[in-house]
Amino acid sequence: MKQHHRVIIIGAGAAGIGMAVTMKTLHFEDVCVIEGGSIGQSFKNWPKSTRTITPSFTSNGFGMPDMNAIAKDTSPAFTFNEEHLSGDTYAEYLTVVAEHYDIDVRTETKVEDVQFVDGVYELNTSKGTFTADYIYVATGDFAFPNQPFDHGIHYSEVDDFNELPGNTFTIIGGNESAFDAAIHLAHQGAQVSIYTSSTGFDADDADPSIRLSPYTHQRLREVVRQGAEIEMNVHYRAESILFRNGQYEIHFDNGAIVYSPTEPIIATGFDVTKNPLIQQLFTVRDGEVRLTDLDESTRYPNVFLIGATVRHDEAILCYIYKFRARFAVLARAMMQREGLAVDQKVIDRYRDNQMYLDDYRCCEVDCSC
């Protein structure tokens, strides 16, 4: 028997739970969240040593919600008394929020296929068929690592950097995950070399989606002061990794060859376009997901992309405090299409809390000092 919901959200991470909570606060109840694992599964899959690079602080009373909060009246800092949360703790936060708002979440339910039949979406899952009028895809990108080499362990595949065997490591990549790995390994006394074609380490752009975070810079300075050995090599684009004579050979486009006794760590980010759901429901061109101004699919009506994978020209919504500002905008758009009344007072509260981004032109980041 098919289960029908007006709205189905695929993915119970920060975007999925946050979107469902926003709909609830706008008095829209017929929403179901489908998750292939458990709530916050991607965060649970983080390396054990990884922490959020954005700090949590309970500043809600001043119209500035906790930067890691997915709902304006919640705060991970208040709940856990921590500033930089682990993946497991953040997943627990998402679970607490989902339970508090009584969100209908179907866990361990993997979406295998989506069909558009007579104006209704049919989602075939591991636990039967669901149907919906609207779909919000919130599957993120952590499950789709960008690993272009025959050898190397991707950042997302490491259980805990503090427990990796060896004392010499080579890292491919030059942004947050690369430096996070380097800091943890160096802290354990390992010698670390970073090779990258480009880096956000000293980027002039003030956008934190491009520039290395202050938290990472701070930790890097601390570990270097303690005598850590971290070597950074820029303008090295890795082309291939071979394993010969008991060691790894990393070949670069400038002709250089670097040898590593341990398997190289690949910190080249993630590729959402490898997601079968993205390929099926959205147009992918030049490595990017094409969206309308409402973050809607250009192929199918009433299918939206939410979360860290949303891009609009120079606007990059890769942090929670950025992409959460789209929840109320998209919920309102859906309700207006359905001819449902939208409580303007609720919308105003989202605006007052900097959680209503309806114009991407205001996303430019500029700092004079």
249 and 208 in a single domain? The answer is: yes
pLDDT, average across residues 116-142: 97
Domain count along the chain? 2
Calpha distance 297→223 (Å, rounded): 45
DSSP 357: -
9-23 tens-digit pLDDT: 999 999 999 999 999
Residue 240 belongs to a domain: yes
Domain annotation covers residue 327: yes
Nearest-CA neighbor of 8 among 126, 97, 105, 92? 105
- Same domain for 132 and 275? yes
Would residue 358 count as lying in a domain? Answer: no
Side chain identity, residue 10: I
Residues 123, 40 share a domain:
yes
Closest CA to 243 of 327, 135, 150: 150
Cβ proximity of 302 and 317 under 8 Å: no
Give a yes or no: residue 248 inside a domain.
yes
- The percent of residues above 90 in pLDDT, for the chain, comes to 88
Q: Which two tokens stand for residue 52?
A: 């959020």
Specify if 41 maps to a domain.
yes
Residue-number span of the structural domain to which 167 is assigned: 153-266
Cα–Cα distance, 12 to 33 (Å, whole number): 6
Are both 137 and 23 inside the same structural domain? Answer: yes
Report which of 338, 349, 284, 276 is spatially closest to residue 110, judged by C-alpha positions. 276
In a domain, 367, yes or no: no
Note whether 197 and 336 are same-domain residues: no
32 lies in the same domain as 138: yes
Same domain, 38 and 134: yes
φ, ψ for residue 182 (rounded to 5)? -60, -40
Is residue 73 a contact partner of residue 60, using CB atoms and an 8 Å limit? Answer: yes
The predicted structure's pLDDT at residue 367: 39
Burial of 218 per CB tally in 10 Å (0-12, 13-18, 19+): exposed
pLDDT band of residue 304 (cuts 50, 70, 90) is very high
User: Residue 260: which of 244, 282, 280, 275 has the closest Cα?
Assistant: 244
Same domain, 19 and 134: yes
Residue 185 lies in a domain: yes
Is the domain of 22 the same as that of 133?
yes
CATH number at residue 70: 3.50.50.60
139 and 210 part of one domain? no
Q: Is the same domain home to 7 and 139?
A: yes
pLDDT tens digits along 190-207: 999 999 999 988 878 777
Q: Is residue 83 part of a domain?
A: yes
pLDDT in tens, 240-261: 999 999 999 999 999 999 999 9
| Distance in angstroms (rounded) separating the CA atoms of residues 338 and 346 | 18
- 339, pLDDT greater than 90: yes
Judged against a pLDDT cut of 50, whether residue 369 lies above it is answered with no
Domain shared by 343 and 299, yes or no: yes
Count of positions (residues) in the chain: 369
